[in-house]
C-alpha cells in the first residue's frame, strides 16, 4: 500500500491515509471475492496478460485500488 501510494502521489503516506487505503482494499477484496464474474470481467480489460498465479479477485481489487489512487485530487493536481 505504501509503495502504491508513493508511486502515485510522490510522497510518503501518513498512517491515517494508509488505514483508509487498507479499508478500501479490504472492501474491494470482499466485493470481488463475492462476485467472481465481475472480477474476471475486470481483469480481462487491458493489453497485458494477467500475471501467473494471481487470483482474479485479488487482481481486480488491486486494480480498483489503483483507480482510487489515480483519481485522487492530489494525484490529478500535483
How does pLDDT run along the chain (78 residues), one tens digit per residue? 999 999 999 999 999 999 999 999 999 999 999 999 999 999 999 898 889 999 999 999 999 999 999 999 889 887
Q: Report the SS3 class of residue 2.
A: helix
* Sign of the dihedral defined by the CA atoms of residues 18, 21, 27, 33, in that order: negative
Enter the pTM of the model: 0.89
Q: Which residues of 1-36 are buried (b: 16+ CB within 10 A; e: fewer)?
A: beebbeebbeeebeeebeeebeebbeebbeebeeee
7 within 8 A of 62, measured Cβ to Cβ: no
Amino acid at each position: 500500500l505504501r509503495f502504491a501510494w508513493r508511486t502515485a502521489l510522490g510522497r510518503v503516506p501518513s498512517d491515517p491515509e494508509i488505514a483508509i487505503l487498507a479499508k478500501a482494499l479490504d472492501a474491494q477484496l470482499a466485493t470481488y471475492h463475492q462476485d467472481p464474474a465481475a472480477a474476471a470481467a475486470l481483469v480481462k480489460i487491458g493489453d497485458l496478460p494477467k500475471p501467473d498465479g494471481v487470483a482474479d479477485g485479488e487482481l481486480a481489487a488491486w486494480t480498483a485500488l489503483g483507480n482510487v489512487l489515480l483519481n485522487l485530487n492530489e494525484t490529478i493536481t500535483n
